[in-house]
Amino acid sequence: MDAHGWKGEGKMRVIIDRFEGEYAVVELEDGSMAYLAAKLLPGAREGDVVLITVDHEATARRKKRIQGLWQRVAQGKNEKK
């Protein structure tokens, strides 16, 4: 991780190069370009630096909740037999 906290697992810094219709063309950390849906970047402008992160904690909570729901569905099916 650098001094700005930009690098690390599940993190990426991109720079908005320009907008093309419904897409933003962004420069990735390796210098390559990619398209992102502009609606994912509300209020962002050309030249803005955007930090993209994966929220591992929220993902784990969501997976646990969904697993619980599936278990309830499976138990409900077994009870009807």
Kindly report, residue by residue over 22-36, the tens digit of the pLDDT.
999 999 999 999 999
Cα–chain-centroid distance for residue 28? 15
Show the tokens assigned to 61: 């909570």
Show the tokens assigned to 28: 């990735």
What is the model's pLDDT at position 75? 86
What is the model's pLDDT at position 72? 86
HSE toward the beta carbon, residue 38, CA cutoff 13 A: 13
pLDDT over threshold 60, residue 3: no
* CA 32 – CA 44 distance, rounded (Å): 20
What is the model's pLDDT at position 76? 80
What is the model's pLDDT at position 79? 59
Q: What is the pTM of this model?
A: 0.68
Cα–chain-centroid distance for residue 43? 17
Taking domain 11-80, whether its CATH number is 2.40.50 is answered by yes
Please give the residue that has the higher pLDDT: either 61 or 3: 61
Q: Is the dihedral of CA 12, 17, 19, 25 positive or negative?
A: negative
